[in-house]
A = this chain, B = another copy of it.
Amino acid sequence: MMTAPIDFYFEFASPYGYLASTQIDDLAARHGRETAWHPIMLGAVFKQTGARPLVHTPLKGPYLQHDVPRFARLLGVPFTEPPVMPANSLAASRACLWLQGDHPALAKRLPKAIFHAHWGEGRDISLPEQVADVAAALGVERAALLAAVADPAIKQRLKEATAAAIERGVFGSPFVIVEGEGFWGADRLNQVEAWLAQGGW
């Protein structure tokens, strides 16, 4: 029987999206499942919910700056504070959508590499050239990527993907949907795993 993939929605500027990105494929594999990675523009979502980036929120900002490195240590994954938070993730997200269409074999390797460059190594992934550097290390042609992230059709695809995510109830990063059940937050992956292990509860 074909089982639908686990949908993994994320925003590159979200540190909790990064933390989840280091776990979700292994988690899915432990239950014989595939994942589908969906970059979204969280800014567009925040316009609907009235939220703003956590890092700019009183009290929550300092919490996040302490919590994210602590959470990364617990998971045993690298963390380096990027120079700009939140980064502009448009080029990174568009590059991923382009690869999903034209180079599916690389489509998951690129977002993992971008997340690692940004949150693991502290590189600023706001500029298209920097996304192209990350992609080039995976064998993606720089010129093709730079053309793609400026392509109106790709820009439109990201808008539509974000609208479709909102339509499904996605409002944060990371957001996982499994068997129609949504789970928000890197700290809910244990519930995603319990859902898979028990077939719901």
Contacts from A to B (Cβ < 8 Å): 45, 48-52, 57-60, 62-63, 66-67, 70-71, 73-74, 166, 169-171, 181-182, 184-185, 187-188, 190-191, 194, 201
Contacts and interface: CB of A to CB of B under 8 A. Distances in A.
A58 to B, nearest CB: 5
A191 B187 CA distance: 9
Given A51-B57, A63-B182, A73-B201, 15 more contacts: A48-B59, A49-B57, A59-B166, A59-B171, A62-B169, A63-B171, A63-B184, A70-B181, A70-B201, A71-B191, A74-B191, A185-B187, A187-B190, A187-B191, A190-B190
Q: Is the interface of A mostly helix, strand, loop or mixed?
A: helix
Contact of A50 (B57, B63, B182): B57
Contacts of A63: 169, 171, 182, 184
- Closest 6 interchain pairs by CB? A59-B171, A187-B187, A48-B58, A49-B57, A49-B59, A49-B58
A111 B130 CA distance: 53
A50 B71 CA distance: 25
15 contacts: A45-B59, A48-B59, A49-B57, A49-B60, A51-B57, A58-B171, A59-B169, A59-B170, A60-B171, A63-B169, A70-B181, A74-B191, A74-B201, A185-B187, A187-B190
A187 B184 CA distance: 10
Given A182-B63, A187-B187, A194-B74, A50 B49 contact: no
